[in-house]
Structure 1
Amino acid sequence: MNSIKEKEVKQNLASVKNTKQKKQLSEEKKDMISGYLYIAPFFIIFAIVGLYPALFSIYLAFQKWNGLAPMEFVGLDNFVVVLTDPLFWKSIYNTIIIGLMGTAPQLVVGIILAYLLNLSFLKFRNFFRVTIFMPYITSMVAVALIFSVLFSNSESSIANYVIGLFGFEPVSWQASEWGTKIAISIMVFWRWVGYNTIIYLAGIQSISNDLYEAATIDGANKFQQLIHITMPLLKPFIVLNVFFSTVGALQLFAEPTVFLGANAFSREEAMTVVMYLYRDAFSLQSFGTASATALILLVIIIIFSAVNTYLTSGAGKKRKEAKL
């Protein structure tokens, strides 16, 4: 009898444990389902707005389609049309030149400005930080109005007046090829230098003050501290800014479009790759060649990003080898 009772007790305990385990599993499943429901809106919106258009663009690159008629599979013909178009290569050239002229200086100037804005004896630091970041959040309409006045074709424009002080002849900024490139590059520099400065400033503020105090005790001046302390420790932020600036330069669209206005897509001297893509899609209704251009641009961005990563990692390896 005792053995029978012991068995019944054990069975009851086992059933209680099973019910508890089932409850725990059901609660875990509920938590898991609720977690997926919380993050589901992001993935749904991403799939609709981001993933589907990207996949559809890849599919469309091999089709001939004007947006209304039925699609026609043409294989690689769209890529051939784009790669044999002289205007496409002109847009590549314009994108690289304007990108270098507008992006490279801001990466250097941004470090200098961030270092100056972090100096302890600088008065009104918060005011200067807000001021230098203002162009990034300024409306493109306001930017267009400002630069259309600064770089107008008239001899009395502000830009022509400034270069006239140095003995140069007036420039038709919106009519000449290099005048247009220089004006757009200055616009890019003015709009994005504050963004890069803020990122550099965040990186500088993450560096311990003990390093600067030790360097000051050892007799290092501010310039030596910038070269030997700030720059090496700021390397991850420099790599990040170079990467984003490279991608942004290759996707240049708003600045030349706003600066040239209605004539933007008929001017070869300022045509960028994204403008070429936009013209094919929405002016010529050739969505196939536009999608092919987008894929080619994607490959170019990947190549530039890979080169930047390789050069950065290579520089890091050389420094480690030198220390060893």
Structure 2
Amino acid sequence: MTTTIPTAPAPARRAPESPAPSRRRSVLARLDARLTPYLFISPFFLLFALVGLFPILYTAWVSLHDWDLIRGQGDFVGLANFQFVLGTDSFYKALRNTFSIFLLSSVPQVIAAILIAYVLDANLRAKTFWRMGVLVPYIVAPVAVSLIFAKIFADQSGLVNNLLMGVGLPAVGWHSDALASHVAIATMVNFRWIGYNALIFLAAMQAVPREIYEAAIIDGSGRLRRFWSVTVPMLRPTIIFVVITSTIGGLQIFDEPRMFDTAGQGGASRQWMTLTMYLYELGWGPQVSFGRASAVAWLLFLIIVAIGVLNFLITKRIAHAGGPSKHKR
């Protein structure tokens, strides 16, 4: 008797997949790869459009009208607000003071930040302590810094004048002399921001490949030569960033000069009144005019954009001038 072994049924042949779903999936995959990055960054641009772009455009609209605090929008005056602002001596005095304080603070600030970052990048004991210590002034409230430094730079019994008179030097009128007041205000700005920028430069220094330093040491370069020929050229992109951000922040300075004295008006002869203080005076002073204040805001905006573009072009050209130079003893 023979037994028959049952055989498994042959698998059913799958129907060939339609090319339409395959093409649809490939299209969706390409759209996902292209759109996903934009979806991730879209919250920033939406927030910027709400709290950044819209106020800028609305300020431009206000600057073209006779705008009142109570009544709101008034008559359309065109460029009359700009003509009024550009025809006053206070605007040019505020512009001069702003640029003076900006230069006295930003230039030493960047140089000191690079030097401090270079020291922090060395083999120090308690590195974390020193790196955290340079950031402490940044977290102090600007009003507190201004009040403290206003006492330090007081004309009669200030700490600085007491030290100067202690070594036989004459006292300085920090609140009466224009240049001295600019130096005092720039000192406040540097006190707050040098440590912050130093940490930015420190992060950039730590990203420099150590093989470059080792090659420079083998070539016989000294410490100063390595700093000037290797470290500084490798920091060029970071220097561009810090210079641009310092320019934007320095031209909008308000807290430090506002709190430098109790009156808060920029001195008896407005010798340290900045553009933002002038804007505040037009917007909330005795003769309130939101249209003129908005005109000052837009003039300041255009100045910052022009100087920012100029800084970017100059530093970009320097950055493309060449890489690290050859190492010499």
How high is the TM-score relative to the length of structure 1? 0.84
On the 8 A contact 1:118/1:205 being kept in 2, the answer is yes
Report SS of the residue matched to 1:260: coil
Correspondence for 1:277: 279
Change in Cα spacing, 1:55 to 1:220, as seen in structure 2 (3 Å) is: same
Aligned pairs for 1:1-324 within 5 A: 45-69=47-71, 70-120=73-123, 122-155=124-157, 157-264=158-265, 267=268, 268-283=270-285, 284-319=287-322
Report SS of the residue matched to 1:184: helix
Distance, in Å, in 1 between the alignment partners of 2:149 and 2:225 is 38
Distance, in Å, in 1 between the alignment partners of 2:128 and 2:261 is 35
Distance, in Å, in 1 between the alignment partners of 2:63 and 2:266 is 22
Distance, in Å, in 1 between the alignment partners of 2:30 and 2:23 is 10
Distance, in Å, in 2 between the alignment partners of 1:183 and 1:285 is 30
Report SS of the residue matched to 1:270: coil
Report SS of the residue matched to 1:281: helix
Residues 215-243 of structure 1 show CA distances to partners (whole Å, capped at 9, x for unaligned) of 22222221111011101111111111111
Aligned CA RMSD, in angstroms, stands at 3.2
Letter of the aligned partner of 1:286 in structure 2? S
- Which portions of structure 1, spanning 4 or more consecutive aligned residues, are displaced by more than 3 angstroms? 16-30, 32-48, 316-320
Distance, in Å, in 2 between the alignment partners of 1:200 and 1:24 is 44
Tell which deviates more after alignment, 133-142 or 83-92: 133-142
Distance, in Å, in 2 between the alignment partners of 1:151 and 1:274 is 23
Percent identical among aligned pairs is 35
On the 8 A contact 2:261/2:267 being kept in 1, the answer is no
Instruction: List alignment gaps of at least 5 residues for structure 1.
Output: 1-11
Decide which structure has greater helix share.
1
CA shift for structure 1 position 57: 0.4
Residues 31-70 of structure 1 show CA distances to partners (whole Å, capped at 9, x for unaligned) of x999999877655544432232211101111111122224
Letter of the aligned partner of 2:170 in structure 1? E
Letter of the aligned partner of 2:89 in structure 1? P
CA shift for structure 1 position 256: 0.7
Report SS of the residue matched to 1:163: helix
Change in Cα spacing, 1:296 to 1:28, as seen in structure 2 (3 Å) is: same
Change in Cα spacing, 1:93 to 1:290, as seen in structure 2 (3 Å) is: same
